[in-house]
Copies of this chain bind each other. A is one copy, B any other.
């Protein structure tokens, strides 16, 4: 029996190793919506075949982005990598390409400059993505990642960029990255009004958090009010699956079946 409304992001199941093995682990627990990362795709034709054969819903493809670079050559290479990511997302029938936009180029302290490179890169990529029918989902990352992963750090900043860019672009809202934002309600409402919500990622914020990257929590184990969050998102008009994305050394080393079962159980009880 299929678990309605739940998607699992491959970052949660890194111990699975391959595209097919991760899909099998999801299907074994009735999870039929997934969100892969590029490094797990391997043979794209084979991955596409697995998706079609099992009637999987692909709630997003991870990831595009990382636009800022130290020189023009680096920025061109990033743009080319993004076009390949768009191609993959299109082949997989993904609902969106998730954009982790990138941080400071090596050696740089120029955050406004990096942000300008992101805006430029998005504008250059967008026509290609529109032509491929792949919406670009800007994912604002928690400010703790501003230097090395994404210099877009709030929903407001993301939506301001969406407004500049026009159609074909929206936001991936991950509770981990934005739960602290004093403008959360207003900006989720704004995102919904503009039809900009493309994905809703869930996990939890642990207290204490011992590692800035790989200590995210299973839903229910932390302090995020997930039900209130879901209500805000649904009131704003987004009713797509909640996608579980947990970067965690702890969960990444447990048996994969146990992790998927726990995701399903927590999805049913606390999300």
Interface residues on A, range: 20 to 34
What residues on B are CB-neighbors of A182 within 8 Å?
115, 153-154, 156-157
What residues on B are CB-neighbors of A154 within 8 Å?
182
Copies per complex of this chain? 2
16 residue pairs bridging A and B, Cβ less than 8 Å apart: A104-B207, A104-B223, A108-B223, A109-B223, A109-B225, A115-B182, A144-B144, A144-B212, A147-B207, A147-B222, A154-B182, A156-B182, A157-B182, A209-B212, A210-B212, A212-B212
Separation of A147 and B176 alpha carbons in the complex (Å)? 12
The interface residues of chain A, by DSSP majority, are classed as loop
Q: How far is the CB of A264 from chain B (nearest CB, A)?
A: 22
What residues on B are CB-neighbors of A128 within 8 Å?
none
What residues on B are CB-neighbors of A180 within 8 Å?
111, 143, 146-147, 151, 153
Separation of A152 and B12 alpha carbons in the complex (Å)? 30
Any chain B CB within 8 A of the CB of A205? Answer: yes
Any chain B CB within 8 A of the CB of A179? Answer: yes
Which residues of A in the span 154-183 have a Cβ within 8 Å of any Cβ on B? Answer: 154, 156-157, 179-182
From B109, B110, B144, B147, give the contact of A143 (CB < 8 A): B144
What residues on B are CB-neighbors of A157 within 8 Å?
182
Q: How far is the CB of A188 from chain B (nearest CB, A)?
A: 14
User: Other than the known A115-B182, A153-B180, what 19 A-B pairs have Cβ atoms closer than 8 Å?
Assistant: A104-B223, A109-B223, A109-B225, A111-B225, A143-B143, A143-B144, A143-B181, A144-B209, A146-B179, A146-B180, A147-B207, A147-B222, A147-B223, A148-B208, A153-B181, A208-B212, A209-B212, A210-B212, A212-B212
Please give me the 7 A-B residue pairs with the lowest Cβ-Cβ distance, nearest first: A146-B180, A109-B225, A143-B180, A157-B182, A144-B144, A147-B223, A147-B207
Any chain B CB within 8 A of the CB of A224? Answer: yes
Any chain B CB within 8 A of the CB of A14? Answer: no
Any chain B CB within 8 A of the CB of A142? Answer: yes
Separation of A115 and B225 alpha carbons in the complex (Å)? 15
Q: Which single residue of chain B is at the shortest CB-CB distance from A153?
A: B180
Q: How far is the CB of A93 from chain B (nearest CB, A)?
A: 34
Q: How far is the CB of A57 from chain B (nearest CB, A)?
A: 29
Q: Are A147 and B225 in contact (CB under 8 A)?
A: no
What residues on B are CB-neighbors of A181 within 8 Å?
143, 153
